[in-house]
């Protein structure tokens, strides 16, 4: 997993609430057995006409947002299915950070496994960043994970909260499985105990 | 000892390691696997030279991609779908996990197969790379969906890195009125809390109306906990649960059954347990409901009218405007005036035997409206066989329904069962998102009885008029 420490990039506004994982990556693209290559179909049904041509007024098709690295979104982003193809598609497109008032639980966890930082902020902060993002290519935002700050285009600073363990993994690009396997003795001990207490499992 | 909720008790029984900051390794008793969210996880294991830690606790079945026509015995035509199913065939064999291949009569939707085979038991932790894993909470098991990276993590370590969620109690008091089902309960709860209302919580459903439900109904309720944003839904196990589990192929037997039962009977929330949020809905206030929009929270009683964007506030105003446009509906029109092209009965929400019985009860001796496309997709091969034995298949066929093989089918339309552009469907599935059942397809979520009623009249219909 690629480390996430500091990110500077264009923020694209997507104020719609309840953007679900079917919108982020429709199921017709879930048939791949790879983790990469989903970026071209990110937001497919919102982004393209049926004939494959681009829908001009979709935010990521506008010239000033084509290289966006950050999304500022409406409430409950990523609701719906558990498909990790959603963060894979965002990452493959180049999005490394999503900012919203709330995220669906599974999507939120999936982001951290892929070097994407989801940031939860109060409504007023999201409104401010949404306004910044609406300014197009001038809306360059800097995310500093170490210091948990967001710097807007006019120099204003917003702080955010993030779970300490998740932050540590992102900052260092750590592989969860490797970390857990270091605790194999605890898992062995648990299994031995559970085999006594609940042998039917 | 301080009082605990059911969630607290299951959680505490599964913590294999706890760090100072509360980050836990939660031991996983059952890992269910399907073909769409697992290939990258198995590939990850191979690349790192890792194995499946507990193959005996890992159960795989293909369901999302499989065609539901009888000719599937000759193989899957769509190449990508075939490759994905073949990858699961190979992974199951290579890693030595339990497997129900496409042509096994026990094959079906993973969340129907797990309980049916007795893999899902009270007090367990159950995960699957699928959000509707919440279904298994009906047994008093802590069950939730995970992403593919977490699938790989569970395969390799049999644990998940987790922090504990908060406790929410949803009580449905009293009795349900005639024509009101588990589907109406679960949709009504989402209608009240919103699709983000449960975020950060595990919900325990309780109250007389929940106790009165069969296991099938309880699975329907817990299945859609995820649509309410919750990590999981739970219902405390009781005699109904024990009767369902007993004798299933992988349920404990003999002395182990007695030992298991003794523990299962301790799995309830203590009277003075702490709840972070509590919601109470009188069962008698719940009506048969339908969704009008493109979010499962867009719920109204069937007697209602299509709302106007101005009825909402904040970001929901624009969302409602977009939904009405997508759904092709005009504010103020009666929901019962909405004409339907297609009816889909099936899915992990409503693809069990009781659901098929409820739909057949309405359809008995009747025909679907001319030109209507109607499909029943049983949740498993065994549900299908039982429905045939009970004569339900005959009722569906005579009414004009297609009688299909088991799978997820039109719930997410990854296989050939899809809506075409503008096609409007009354569906017993769980999501009415844009494009969910096919590009520009329009979905109204309903109970099986309501779906059957709509098939007969050709419009959204109050099932109570047909009872």
Cα–Cα nearest to A36, from A70, A84, A77: A84
Q: Which of B50, B230, B256 sits opposite A199 (nearest CB)?
A: B256
CB spacing of A22 vs B435 below 8 angstroms: yes
Residue B286 clears pLDDT 90, i.e. is over it: yes
For β-strands A157-159 and B58-60, DSSP reports them as: unpaired
A185–B contact, CB cutoff 8 A: no
Q: Is A162 on the interface with B (CB under 8 A)?
A: no
Cβ contacts of B314 on chain A, cutoff 8 Å: 17
A161 interface with B at CB cutoff 8 Å = no
Chain A residues within 8 A of B135 when measuring between CB atoms: none
What is the pLDDT at residue A136?
78
Residues B320-355 have pLDDT tens digits of 999 999 999 999 999 999 999 999 999 999 999 999
Tokens of B11: 């959680």
- Beta carbons of A84 and B65 less than 8 Å apart: no
d(CA B35, CA A86): 17
Q: What is the mean pLDDT of each run of 10 residues along chain A (201 residues)?
A: 95 97 96 95 97 97 96 97 97 98 97 97 97 88 98 92 96 94 97 98 96
Alpha carbon of A9: minimum distance to chain B alpha carbons (Å): 25
Angle, CA A106 vertex, CA A101 and CA A111 arms, to 5°: 75
| Other beta carbons within 10 Å of B261 | 16
User: A-chain residues within 8 Å CB-CB of B201?
Assistant: none
Q: Taking residues B239-247, what's their average pLDDT?
A: 98
Which value does ipTM take for this structure?
Answer: 0.96
| pTM exceeding 0.95 | yes
Largest CA distance in chain B: 65
- Give the residue among B139, B133, B335, B127 at the shortest CA–CA distance from B218: B139
A18 shares contact with chain B (CB less than 8 Å): yes
CB contact under 8 A, A187 and B412: no
Judging contacts by C-beta atoms under 8 Å, the chain A residues touching residue B19 are: 165
With contacts defined as CB-CB under 8 Å, which chain B residues touch A105? Answer: 199-200, 229-231
CA dihedral B228, B112, A107, A131 (to 10 degrees): -40
Query: For chains A and B, what is the number of CB pairs under 8 angstroms?
Result: 183
What integer best gives the mean pLDDT of chain B? 97
Quick check: A114 and A88 in contact, CB under 8 A? yes
Nearest residue to B231 via CA among B162, B302, B158 = B162
3-state secondary structure of A19: coil
pLDDT at B159: 98
**Residue B385 pLDDT > 90, yes or no?**
yes
Backbone angles phi, psi at A84, to 5 degrees: -75, -10
Measured between beta carbons, the chain A residues lying within 8 angstroms of B124 are 201
pLDDT tens digits for range B101-119: 999 999 999 999 999 999 9
| Cα–Cα distance measured from residue B451 to residue B456, given in angstroms and rounded to the nearest whole number | 9
């Amino acid at each position: 997993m690629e480390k996430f420490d500091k990110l500077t990039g264009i923020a694209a506004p997507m104020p719609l609430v309840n953007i679900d994982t079917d919108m982020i990556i429709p199921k017709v693209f879930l048939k791949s057995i790879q983790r990469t290559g989903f970026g071209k179909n990110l937001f497919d049904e919102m982004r393209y006409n049926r004939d494959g041509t681009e829908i001009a007024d979709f935010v990521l098709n506008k010239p000033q947002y084509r290289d966006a690295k950050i999304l500022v979104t409406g409430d409950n982003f990523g609701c719906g299915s558990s498909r990790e193809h959603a963060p894979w598609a965002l990452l493959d497109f180049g999005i490394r950070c999503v900012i919203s008032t709330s995220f669906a639980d599974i999507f939120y966890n999936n982001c951290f496994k892929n070097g994407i930082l989801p940031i939860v902020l109060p409504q007023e902060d999201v409104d401010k960043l949404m306004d910044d993002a609406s300014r197009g290519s001038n809306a360059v935002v800097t995310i500093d994970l170490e210091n948990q700050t967001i710097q807007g285009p006019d120099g204003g600073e917003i702080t955010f909260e993030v779970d300490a363990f998740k932050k540590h993994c992102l900052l260092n690009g750590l592989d969860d499985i490797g970390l857990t396997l270091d605790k194999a003795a605890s898992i062995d001990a648990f299994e031995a105990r559970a085999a006594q207490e609940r042998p039917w499992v | 000892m301080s009082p605990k909720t059911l969630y607290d008790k299951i959680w505490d029984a599964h913590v294999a390691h706890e760090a100072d900051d509360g980050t836990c390794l939660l031991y996983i008793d059952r890992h269910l696997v399907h073909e769409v969210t697992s290939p990258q996880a198995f590939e990850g294991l191979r690349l790192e030279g890792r194995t499946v830690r507990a193959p005996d606790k890992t159960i795989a079945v293909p369901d999302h991609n499989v065609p539901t026509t009888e000719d599937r015995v000759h193989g899957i035509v769509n190449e990508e779908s075939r490759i994905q199913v073949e990858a699961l065939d190979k992974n199951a064999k290579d890693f030595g996990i339990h497997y129900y291949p496409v042509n096994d009569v026990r094959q079906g939707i993973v969340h129907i197969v797990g309980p049916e085979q007795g893999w899902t038991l009270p007090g367990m932790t159950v995960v699957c790379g699928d959000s509707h894993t919440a279904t298994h909470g009906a047994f008093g098991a802590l069950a939730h969906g995970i992403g593919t990276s977490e699938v790989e993590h569970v395969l390799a370590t049999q644990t998940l890195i987790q922090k504990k969620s908060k406790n929410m109690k949803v009580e449905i008091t009293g009795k349900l009125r005639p024509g009101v089902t588990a589907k109406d309960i679960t949709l009504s709860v989402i209608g009240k809390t919103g699709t983000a209302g449960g975020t950060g919580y595990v919900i325990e459903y309780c109250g007389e109306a929940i106790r009165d439900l069969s296991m099938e109904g309880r699975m329907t309720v817990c299945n859609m906990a995820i649509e309410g944003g919750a990590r999981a839904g739970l219902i405390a196990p009781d005699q109904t649960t024990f009767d369902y589990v007993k004798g299933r192929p992988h349920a404990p037997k003999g002395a182990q059954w007695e030992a298991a039962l003794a523990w299962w009977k301790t799995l309830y929330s203590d009277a003075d347990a702490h709840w972070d949020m509590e919601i109470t809905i009188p069962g008698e206030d719940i009506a048969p409901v339908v969704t009008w929009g493109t979010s499962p929270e867009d719920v109204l009683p069937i007697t209602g009218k299509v709302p106007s964007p101005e009825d909402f506030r904040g970001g929901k105003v624009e969302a409602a405007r977009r939904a009405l446009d997508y759904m092709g509906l005009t504010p103020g029109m009666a929901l019962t005036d909405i004409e339907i092209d297609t009816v889909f009965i099936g899915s992990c929400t409503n693809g069990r035997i009781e659901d098929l019985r409820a739909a057949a009860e309405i359809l008995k001796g009747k025909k679907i409206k001319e030109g209507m496309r109607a499909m029943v997709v049983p949740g498993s091969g065994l549900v299908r066989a039982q429905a045939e034995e009970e004569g339900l298949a005959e009722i569906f066929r005579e009414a004009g329904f297609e009688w299909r093989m088991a799978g997820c089918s039109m719930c997410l339309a990854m296989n050939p069962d899809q809506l075409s552009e503008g096609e409007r469907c009354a569906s017993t599935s769980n999501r009415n998102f844009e494009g969910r059942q096919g590009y520009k397809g329009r979905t109204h979520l309903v109970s099986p009885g309501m779906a059957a009623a709509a098939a007969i009249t050709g419009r959204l219909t109050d099932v109570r008029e047909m009872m």
